[in-house]
Amino acid sequence: MELLQARPGVTAGELAACLGVTERAARRYVGILREAGIPVESARGPYGGYRLGRGTRLPPVAFTEPEALGLVMAVLNGQPAAADADDLVGAALGKVIRALPENVGRQAAALREYASAAPDRFSARPDPATTSALVAAIADRRRVVVAYRSESGNQWEAEVDPWAVVVRHGRWYLLCHSHRADAVRTYRVDRVLQVQRSTHTFEPPDDLDPVAALEENLGTGWEFATRVVFDAPLAEVAPWIRPPMGRLEPSGDGCVLVGSTSNPTMYAQEWLPNVPFPFRVEGGPELRAALASLASRLAAALGPAHRRVTPGPGS
């Protein structure tokens, strides 16, 4: 775009030479600019070439229509409230749309106005400044001290090596090595109250796969231990176990789920009932109490028990 503005009438060969590409690639780039709404005129003959349309002002950003629509769709999918201009992300999206070329921006604005997104009740939006501080520490490989509040309301501080920030199902997690526990830990970023950088540096594991490591460690390190035994083979139970529930291990003819949680009530009411196999809770008094409370509520919902009467002869 700068070449077209500075050298009206530039040929495809000259564009190719300046950009270090083939003439075919240079013509394709011109086509991409036109798709993005930039008026690039062309003329044939010895004095022909490419030039920007008269009065053209270069926009600060340039997207093709599919790129712009894809961006709006991704934002609405991840942040349904962005349909509202008063939302922080919505305000940013509005600025991007206004900066687009008219024909592209019109389609993006229409998509934003007439598409509706249902909010995900399980998602959680962390503070942008907190997230940025963690990402900066990860990039600088700098150890941090985080102040954290668990789901049960307990607060503590932990000195950690921040390895990665991972977004999973609408929630943002910090994958790190905790020096207090000398183990891998996963913290919800929206529950991080404060981030303080340390002078210590660290080196992350060479073979670190952040997503896989997060999945493996989501169910470890929380306040209340859990141990659930299933009377079914591991291969059958595994598809029903969510990573935050813990780690599934073989045990005789069945398997055992060993983990921890900061919310025994949710574990008992939302997670375990979805597993369609017989089980018994062997570990975790908090989980056992939560499950007993649920069982009592369900039994009460059935009303008074009725004695089964066996018909006698002649009945």
Domain ranges for the chain: 2-52, 65-114, 128-214, 224-301
pLDDT of 57 reads 66
| 115-130 burial: b if 16+ Cβ within 10 Å, else e | eeeeeeeeeebbeeeb
pLDDT of 305 reads 59
Instruction: Please tell me whether the overall predicted TM-score, pTM, comes out greater than 0.95 for this model.
Output: no
Contact criterion met (CB below 8 Å) for 256 and 228: yes
pLDDT at 225 > cutoff 90? yes
| Percentage of residues of the chain with pLDDT beyond 90 | 50
The model's pLDDT over 130-159, given as tens digits with 9 standing for 90+, comes to 999 999 999 999 999 999 998 878 899 999
pLDDT of 59 reads 58
Identify the DSSP state of 273: G
What's the one-letter identity of residue 254? G
Radius of gyration of the chain (CA): 29
Q: Which residue has the tokens 């009460």?
A: 300
pLDDT of 175 reads 96
The model's pLDDT over 11-45, given as tens digits with 9 standing for 90+, comes to 989 999 988 899 999 999 999 888 878 888 888 77
d(CA 126, CA 133): 12
pLDDT at 313 > cutoff 50? no
Q: 128-214: which CATH topology? A: SH3 type barrels. (2.30.30)
Burial of 34 (0-12, 13-18, 19+ CB in 10 A): middle
The average pLDDT across 96-124 equals 83
The model's pLDDT over 175-201, given as tens digits with 9 standing for 90+, comes to 999 999 999 999 999 999 999 999 999
User: Any idea which architecture 2-52 has in CATH?
Assistant: Orthogonal Bundle (1.10)
Average pLDDT for the chain: 88
Crossing angle of helices 65-78 and 88-99, in 10° steps, is: 180
Contact criterion met (CB below 8 Å) for 163 and 177: yes
